[in-house]
Amino acid sequence: MSAEKKPTPEVYMTLKELGMELSPAAAEALAAWKATLRTDQTFEREYLGMPMLPTNRELRLEELAQTYHDRCDAFDKAAEAVPCVGERYRRCSDNAYRVLYEIRDTANSEGFHTSEVLAAIHDTKERRRHRTQ
């Protein structure tokens, strides 16, 4: 049996170490390609030609984000006749923070990172806005 030939250290050198640079067009193409990968799981599903069905994790994040928006909307609509200015604005804001902290704590206890929760809340808000337009 012949021993496998190990790659030489030059294989692992970066372009910068070799004194080379990517052209602006190549750097832009690389950045666009990396953006399309998003996550390893998304890439794996796309590569294998699997349908882009949401995972249980994504569904749970969506549910938490929807709960946040529903609870905040319910509080805001409770006194709809009063404009959301001054003291009313402060109470709406306080409620939104209180709900956010509760959702965040629940999500953290389920293994989600705070940034994932905030991103899901933002994405849900964007989808809701597009539905109403």
**pLDDT tens-digit series, residues 41-65:** 666 666 677 666 778 888 999 999 9
- Same domain for 124 and 76: yes
Q: 64, 73, 77, 78: which is closest to 122 by C-alpha?
A: 64
Tokens of 111: 């293994």
* pLDDT < 50: residue spans in the chain: 1, 7, 9-10
Amino acid identity for residue 119 in this structure: A
In a domain, 72, yes or no: yes
Q: Are residues 36 and 72 in the same domain?
A: no
The reported pLDDT for the residue numbered 21 is 76
Q: How many domains does the chain have?
A: 2
Q: Which residue has the tokens 């940034």?
A: 115
76 plus 107 within the same structural domain: yes
- Residue 61: per-residue pLDDT: 92
**What pLDDT does residue 10 have?**
47
For residue 12, being part of any structural domain is answered with no
Q: Contact at 8 Å (CB) between 69 and 123?
A: no
46 φ, ψ to 5°? -65, -40
Asked if residue 91 and residue 43 are part of one domain, the reply reads no
Cα distance between residue 128 and residue 119, in whole Å:
14
Are 43 and 28 contained in the same domain?
yes
Hey, what are 75's tokens? 């509080």
Q: Are residues 33 and 62 in the same domain?
A: no
Query: Is residue 102 within 8 Å of residue 94, measured between CB atoms?
Result: no
Let me know whether 121 and 64 are in one domain. Answer: yes
Q: Determine the pLDDT at residue 92.
A: 84
| In a shared domain, residues 123 and 61 | yes
- Tokens 């030939």 found at: 5
Domain that holds residue 107: 56-132
State the pLDDT at residue 100.
Answer: 94
